[in-house]
Amino acid sequence: MKDIADELGISSPATTAIIDRLIADKLITRSEDTKDRRIVRISMTPTGKKSFEKTREVLYTAINTRVSILSDTEQHELARILQKLQTPQ
């Protein structure tokens, strides 16, 4: 949970609440690691995978629609800026 919280930049209690909601919605499962009970494994269910793919498709379509109004130069500049934002400091 701590790894997920750190990656998302949110608190561990907030992460737990999100994970609990995703479990209730049957989108993910939580299980203990077989070798270290302190480790919690999170896995997507088949329903979660379908939901993820559908959401990703909608998001990509929306982004492509928005980006298509930019010129090639503007698209390259946007890609450069997004890459810079993604790079850890």
Q: Alpha-carbon Rg of the chain, whole angstroms? A: 18
> Diameter of the chain by CA atoms?
53
Q: Which residues of the chain have pLDDT under 50?
A: none
pLDDT of residue 40: 87
Residues 80, 64 contacting (CB under 8 angstroms): no
pLDDT of residue 33: 87
- Written as one string, the DSSP assignment of 17-69 is HHHHHHHHTTSEEEEE-SS-TT-EEEEE-HHHHHHHHHHHHHHHHHHHHHHTT
pTM: 0.69
* pLDDT tens column, 4-28: 999 889 999 999 999 999 999 999 9
Q: Hey, what are 38's tokens?
A: 């302190």
Report CA-CA distances (Å) from 12 to 2, 3, 61: 6, 9, 32
